[in-house]
């Protein structure tokens, strides 16, 4: 079965290369049909569940994971049910409904929405997790397969981390393309830095609350796979402010005419702040522009005013 994701462009950013004093490449997964990289892993997982006999998909994500499930379901002709909390935005619900998903609004937080979603999973349904499912990671790894096929061997990769699914897939992709030694800079926003907290504690820990506006990074705890890979692969955890992440989004909008969420701007922010940890990298930098469908230009500009 053909994959549901696109092979996305890999472009050199002239403004970022000038800023960093080395070539900076952008892997433009913001251009995926569901608006983010998530369709890579989610598409693959949904195709696998369908082959195994699933006749319905259930998700509890009011963000890009839910949108990817809705898109995959529409492509595969499988009905999708998404349960989102009352705190989800009208825009997210509209985008989900536009993809043909049945949207149920339930509970004051994701915990209650997720509990209802789990209870709705019938014997012929598959629950599609946003980041913690071994079926997702090889799908996300195709991102690095495409980079390798283009002939680029980066000196380091910058990406953002929420629950760690993207990170797990990228590390898997590096390993399967003979790049297991290429360091990864794993970027989180202050208030959503669950990987950093676990790395500091030396064990998986859970944040008490998410306080960042980068809601797509808002997993209180990263998956075990991400934590373990962060200790076996060369990884540096970086934390940026919400304001830095939003500024990087606005710069991307001006430089490359792309609108992405702060969750994605986070991966670009270390370049703008002249992150000293990047100085030791030898070679080109690769940034995963992971996207985010819930962003609008107006919202980014409003945040950029309020977060000075
Ligand atoms: C999901 C998501 C992330 C984080 O991915 P994880 O696999 O949860 O680490 C980052 N940016 C965007 C836009 C996302 O949708």
* pLDDT of 1: 85
| Domain residue spans of the chain | 10-37+134-306, 38-127
Domain 10-37+134-306 and domain 38-127 have a common topology: yes
Distance 168 CA to ligand 1 centre (A): 11
Q: Which atom of ligand 1 is nearest to the CA of 263?
A: 11
pLDDT tens for 61-97 read 989 999 999 999 999 999 999 999 888 889 999 999 9
* pLDDT of 87: 85
**Which residue(s) pair with 308 in the sheet?**
none
pLDDT tens for 49-59 read 999 999 999 99
Q: In what order do the strands lie in the sheet with 80-84?
A: 102-105, 80-84, 56-59, 125-127
Distance 161 CA to ligand 1 centre (A): 6
231/210 Cα distance (integer angstroms): 24
Is 196 near ligand 1, meaning CB less than 6 Å away? Answer: no
Per-residue confidence band for 108, with pLDDT thresholds at 50, 70 and 90: confident
Distance 264 CA to ligand 1 centre (A): 8
**Which residue(s) pair with 105 in the sheet?**
84
pLDDT tens for 133-178 read 999 999 999 999 999 999 999 999 999 999 999 999 999 999 999 9
* Chain centre to alpha carbon of residue 212: 15
Asked if the 38-127 domain carries CATH number 3.40.1500.10, the reply is no
CA dihedral of 173, 178, 180, 182, whole degrees rounded to 10: -90
Quick one: CATH architecture of 10-37+134-306? Answer: 3-Layer(aba) Sandwich (3.40)
* pLDDT of 256: 98
26/295 Cα distance (integer angstroms): 19
150/147 Cα distance (integer angstroms): 5
Residue nearest to ligand 1 atom 13, measured at CA = 292
Distance 44 CA to ligand 1 centre (A): 16
Question: What distance separates the 2 farthest-apart alpha carbons in the chain?
Answer: 55
Is 74 near ligand 1, meaning CB less than 6 Å away? Answer: no
16/25 Cα distance (integer angstroms): 9
Q: What is the mean pLDDT of residues 10-28?
A: 98
């Amino acid at each position: 079965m053909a994959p549901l994701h696109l092979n996305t462009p890999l472009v050199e950013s002239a403004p970022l290369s000038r800023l960093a004093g080395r070539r900076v490449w952008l892997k433009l997964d913001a251009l995926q049909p569901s608006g983010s990289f998530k369709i890579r892993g989610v598409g693959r997982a949904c195709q696998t569940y369908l082959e195994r006999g699933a006749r319905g998909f259930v998700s509890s994500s009011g963000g890009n994971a839910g949108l990817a499930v809705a898109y995959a379901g529409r492509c595969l002709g499988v009905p999708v049910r998404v349960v989102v909390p009352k705190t989800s935005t009208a825009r997210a619900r509209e985008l989900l409904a536009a993809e043909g998903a049945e949207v149920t609004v339930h509970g004051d937080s994701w915990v209650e929405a997720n509990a209802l979603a789990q209870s709705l999973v019938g014997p012929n349904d598959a629950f599609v997790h946003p980041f913690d499912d071994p079926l997702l990671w090889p799908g996300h790894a195709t991102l690095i397969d495409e980079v390798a096929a283009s002939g680029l061997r980066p000196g380091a990769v910058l990406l953002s981390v929420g629950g760690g699914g993207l990170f797990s897939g990228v590390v898997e992709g590096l390993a399967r393309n003979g790049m297991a030694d290429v360091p990864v800079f794993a970027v989180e926003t202050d208030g959503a830095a669950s990987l950093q907290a676990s790395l500091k504690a030396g064990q998986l820990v859970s944040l008490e609350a998410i306080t960042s506006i980068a809601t797509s990074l808002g997993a209180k705890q990263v998956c075990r796979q991400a934590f373990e890979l962060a200790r076996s692969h060369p990884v540096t955890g970086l934390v940026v402010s919400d304001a830095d992440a939003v500024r990087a989004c606005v710069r991307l909008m001006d430089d490359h005419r792309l609108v992405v969420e702060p969750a994605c701007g986070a991966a670009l922010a270390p370049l703008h702040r002249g992150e000293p940890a990047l100085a030791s990298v030898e070679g080109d930098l690769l940034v995963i522009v992971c996207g985010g469908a819930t962003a609008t230009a107006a919202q980014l500009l409003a945040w950029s005013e309020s977060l000075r």
